[in-house]
Amino acid sequence: MKVTAGRRLKRGWMPLKVTEVITENHDTRTLIMVNEEEGCRAFDYTAGQYLTFRFDDLAPKPIVRSYTMSSSPCQEGYIAVTVKEIEDGFVSKHLCTNVKKGDILKARGPIGAFCYDGSKDHKNLTMVAAGSGVTPFVSILREYAPLLGSEHAPEKMRLLVSFRSTNDLICWKDLESLGKHPNIEIVTTLSREDRRDSGFLYGRIDNSMLAEVIGDQCDDTTFMTCGPDVIMDMTVNYVMSKGVKPEHMKQESFA
């Protein structure tokens, strides 16, 4: 099965109605939305793409912010974004504290090419993320888990993700269950809580952790990374040092 983008594209601002708000943890919420006009998801997208939201009433001038869909295109009828409240963050605070079921948000998209491309990418996909940078990978894992090994899908997927503690896990129920798939490996490190007794790694993602998790397994592998610059830079440098070509190294910055 080929996963395609853009069969139904919406060019203008769409009214998205919040139908459910899921509390992921103390500072992160997932907003489930449908298109207000059509009562469903009104556009197609590829896992890893994002929407740009416009807020007209929060400040004297409209404010725009982008959020990646954490839902997968295979979850038909709705989309979801997962938002982490940033300290002193204007829009993320609004989305995490004020927005409720029934509210309408304006968004445009889908946008972006931070996606797995089955026609060009390698059959192994390794993803490295920290914090809210996991959202595109939640979408990609959800999308491709049932398709692994088929045409235009990876054969194996691996995610190395860092959260501060077990109180900061995002989309965890799904990640845990996806990690049970024989061809999906999910390695989670906690940077501020030592829970090695429960299967987590301990510490920030650094070169020695990349060596431990990725090692020399870089052949036939496309890499994607999303998170703070320091983690993306380290990942890029690590895999480049292993001979990975730039076209098999993709990055998305949330800054």
Ligand X SMILES: Cc1cc2nc3c(=O)[nH]c(=O)nc-3n(C[C@H](O)[C@H](O)[C@H](O)COP(=O)(O)OP(=O)(O)OC[C@H]3O[C@@H](n4cnc5c(N)ncnc54)[C@H](O)[C@@H]3O)c2cc1C
Residues in contact with ligand X by the rule CB under 6 A: 50, 65-68, 81-84, 86, 88-93, 132, 135, 254-255
**Nearer to ligand X among residue 141 and residue 213 (C-beta):** 141
What contacts 29, CB < 8 A, 6 or more positions away? 21, 22, 23, 82, 83, 95, 96
CB of 255 to ligand X, least distance (A): 6
**Nearer to ligand X among residue 164 and residue 181 (C-beta):** 164
CA pseudo-torsion sign 171, 174, 176, 178: negative
**Nearer to ligand X among residue 61 and residue 180 (C-beta):** 61
What does the block give as tokens for 37? 């006009």
CB 163 within 8 A of CB 171: no
CB of 65 to ligand X, least distance (A): 4
CB of 31 to ligand X, least distance (A): 10
DSSP 197: G
What does the block give as tokens for 18? 């919040």
Whole-angstrom CA distances from 39 to 93, 150, 172 are 27, 32, 28
**Nearer to ligand X among residue 214 and residue 249 (C-beta):** 249
CA distance 204 to 28: 20
**Nearer to ligand X among residue 89 and residue 179 (C-beta):** 89
CB of 151 to ligand X, least distance (A): 28
CB of 111 to ligand X, least distance (A): 8
Of 13, 114, 139, 133, the C-alpha closest to 64 is: 13
**Nearer to ligand X among residue 74 and residue 86 (C-beta):** 86
**Nearer to ligand X among residue 126 and residue 135 (C-beta):** 135
- DSSP letters, 218-250, are TTTEEEEEES-HHHHHHHHHHHHHTT--GGGEE
CB of 69 to ligand X, least distance (A): 8
Residue nearest to ligand X (CB): 89
The backbone region for 77, taken as left when phi is positive above 0, alpha when psi lies in -120 to 50, beta otherwise, is left
Of 210, 245, 243, the C-alpha closest to 227 is: 210
CB of 97 to ligand X, least distance (A): 11
